[in-house]
Amino acid sequence: MTIPLRVLIVEDSVDDTDLLLRELRLGGYEPTHERVETPEAMNAALDQQMWDIVFGDYSMPHFNGMAALKLLRERGLDLPFIFISGTIGEDTAVASMKAGANDYVIKGNLKRLLPAVDRELKEAAVRREHRQAEETIRYLAYYDPLTGLPNRTSLLDRLHLAITEGSGQKKSVALLLMDLDHFKEVNDTLGHHRGDILLQQVGSRLRAVLRPSDLVARLGGDEFAVLLPLASSQHAAQVAQKILEALEPPFMIDGLPVAVEAGVGIAVCPDHGTNPNSLMQRADVAMYAAKQTGSGYIVYDTHYDRHSPRRLSLIGELRQAIERDQLFLHFQPKIDLKTRRVIGVEALVRWRHPEHGFVPPDQFIEPAEQTGLIKPLTLWIFNAARREGLMWQQAGIHLSMSVNLSARNLHDPHFPDQISEILQTTGGKPDELELEITESAIMNDPARALEAITRLRAMGIRFAIDDFGIGYSSLAYLKRLPVDAIKIDKSFVINMIENQNDAVIVRSTIDLAHNLGLKVIAEGVEKQDIWDRLSALGCDAAQGYYMSRPMPAEELTRWLSDSPYGLNCRAV
Nearest residue (CB) to ligand C2E, 126 versus 358: 358
Cβ-based burial of 516 (10 A; exposed 0-12, middle 13-18, buried ≥19): middle
Are the C-beta atoms of residues 387 and 423 closer than 8 Å to each other?
Answer: no
- Separation between Cα atoms, residue 199 and residue 196, nearest integer Å: 5
Using the minimum distance from each CB to ligand C2E, give the nearer residue, 378 or 400: 378
CA-to-CA distance for 295 and 276, rounded, in angstroms? 25
408-447 residues near ligand C2E, rule: CB under 6 A: 436
Residue 281 interacting with ligand C2E (CB under 6 A): no
Binder to ligand C2E among 12, 181, 362, 445 (CB under 6 A)? Answer: 362
* Binding status of residue 461 toward ligand C2E by CB under 6 A: no
Residue 261 contacts which entry, Mg ion, ligand C2E, none (Cβ below 5-8 A, type-dependent): none
Backbone φ, ψ for residue 420 (5° rounding): -60, -40
* Identity of the residue, 264 or 365, whose beta carbon is nearer to ligand C2E in the bound complex: 365
Is residue 360 close enough to count as binding ligand C2E by CB under 6 A?
Answer: yes
Smallest separation (angstroms) from ligand C2E to the CB of 429 = 21
Q: Nearest-CA neighbor of 334 among 123, 181, 560?
A: 560
Question: For residues 425 and 496, what is the distance between their CA atoms, to the nearest angstrom?
Answer: 44
d(CA 47, CA 43): 6
Instruction: Report the nearest approach of ligand C2E to the CB of residue 3 (Å).
Output: 52
Residue 52 site contact among ligand C2E, Mg ion, none (CB < 5 to 8 Å, cut-off depends on kind): none
Least CB distance from residue 416 to ligand C2E, whole Å?
Answer: 16
From the list Mg ion, ligand C2E, none, which binds 209 (C-beta under 5 to 8 Å, kind-based)?
A: none
Q: Which of 106, 348, 512, 567 binds ligand C2E (CB under 6 A)?
A: 348
Residue selected from 17, 96, 332, 400 as contacting ligand C2E according to rule CB under 6 A: 332
| 349 near ligand C2E, rule: CB under 6 A | yes
Least distance from Mg ion to the Cβ atom of residue 521, Å: 9
Residue 4 CB, shortest distance to ligand C2E, in Å, is: 52
Residue 269: partners with Cβ closer than 8 Å, 6 or more residues away: 162, 163, 166, 167, 172, 173, 174, 175, 279
Q: Phi and psi (nearest 5°) for 361?
A: -60, -30
96 contact, one of ligand C2E, Mg ion, none, CB 5-8 Å limit per kind? none
Q: Which of 467, 520, 534, 560 binds ligand C2E (CB under 6 A)?
A: 467
Query: In the set 85, 404, 495, 568, which binds ligand C2E (CB under 6 A)?
Result: 404
DSSP string, 182-230: THHHHHHHH-HHHHHHHHHHHHHHHHHHS-TTSEEEEEETTEEEEEETT
Packed helices 39-48 and 65-74: angle between N→C axes, nearest 10 degrees: 40
CA distance 306 to 262: 22
The yes or no reply on residue 365 touching ligand C2E (CB under 6 A) is: yes
Under a CB-based contact definition with an 8 Å cutoff, are residues 390 and 427 in contact? yes
Residue 113: which of ligand C2E, Mg ion, none does it interact with, CB under 5 to 8 A by kind?
A: none
Determine if 361 is a binding residue for ligand C2E (CB under 6 A).
yes
Burial 106-133 (b: 16+ CB within 10 A, else e): bbeebeebbebbeebbeebeeeeeeeee
**Chain CA centroid to CA 396, Å:** 34
Within positions 494 to 553, which residues make up the interface with ligand C2E, using CB under 6 A?
523-526, 543-545, 550
Q: Nearest residue by C-beta to ligand C2E?
A: 544
Residue 539 Cβ, how far from Mg ion at the closest point, in Å? Answer: 15
Q: Which stretch binds ligand C2E (CB under 6 A): 266-274, 305-313, 361-369, 560-568?
A: 361-369
Q: For residue 74, how many other CB atoms are within 10 A of its CB?
A: 8
471 is an interface residue for ligand C2E by CB under 6 A: no
Q: Does residue 466 belong to the site contacting ligand C2E (CB under 6 A)?
A: yes
Does 406 bind ligand C2E (CB under 6 A)? Our answer is yes
CA distance 360 to 367: 12
CB of 319 to ligand C2E, least distance (A): 16
E strands present in 240-395: 251-253, 256-258, 262-269, 297-299, 327-336, 342-353, 357-359
Residues that bind Mg ion in the complex, under the rule CB under 5 A? 404, 436, 466-467, 523
Question: Is the Cα dihedral 193, 194, 199, 203 positive or negative?
Answer: positive
Q: Cis link prior to 309 (omega < 30° from 0)?
A: no
User: Site size for ligand C2E, by CB under 6 A?
Assistant: 24
Q: Which residues bind ligand C2E (CB under 6 A)?
A: 332, 348-349, 360-362, 365, 378, 381, 404-406, 436, 466-467, 490, 523-526, 543-545, 550
